[in-house]
A = this chain, B = another copy of it.
Amino acid sequence: MKKITIGDASRQSGVKVPTIRYYESIGLLAAPSRSGGNQRSYEPADLRRLVFIRHARELGFEVDAIRTLLTLQDDPHQSCASADAIAKARLADVEQRIRSLMALKVELETMVEGCGHGRVDQCRVIEVLADHAQCTHSHH
């Protein structure tokens, strides 16, 4: 069997080399065996784990949540209630973020549209920032 170096693992998983070492240092990925001159040598299972982690990070899961998801994956006979709860919490968070970003978008659009491209003292961008009362939304 050919040995998988950290560089190969990086290319095959899409996780950068220093990030792989970082994941090892925080215990998200088990330390692999070393071959020859102290170089890390990975197994296919490690690659799958890295892809899992990358995908979860792309979905915005925090490292702690991923830690839990990984232990669940390691023991497939457990109830998946925890995984479900984590995903639901993340979904709620994403929905909340979308709501505030939408409000923010409206506010920024008003600012940009109101800018007459003249001097700063007529600029709505600066004006709105200086005087919160001018906001269309007052939720923040």
Contact = CB atoms under 8 A, between A and B. Distances in A.
Residue of A69, A80, A107, A111 ringed by the most chain B CB atoms within 10 A? A80
Interface string A87-120: 1101100110110011011011101100101111
A29 interface: no
Given A88-B112, A120-B83, A55 B129 contact: yes
B121 A76 contact: yes
B115 A105 contact: no
A78 to B, nearest CB: 5
Interface in A46-64: 48, 51-52, 55-56, 58-60
A130 B73 contact: yes
B125 A87 contact: yes
B117 A76 contact: no
Interface of A: 48, 51-52, 55-56, 58-60, 69, 72-73, 75-81, 83-84, 86-88, 90-91, 94-95, 97-98, 101-102, 104-105, 107-109, 111-112, 115, 117-123, 125-126, 128-130, 132, 140
22 contacts: A51-B132, A55-B128, A55-B129, A56-B129, A59-B108, A69-B126, A73-B120, A76-B119, A78-B119, A78-B120, A80-B115, A80-B122, A80-B123, A83-B123, A84-B112, A84-B117, A87-B115, A91-B112, A97-B97, A98-B98, A98-B102, A101-B101
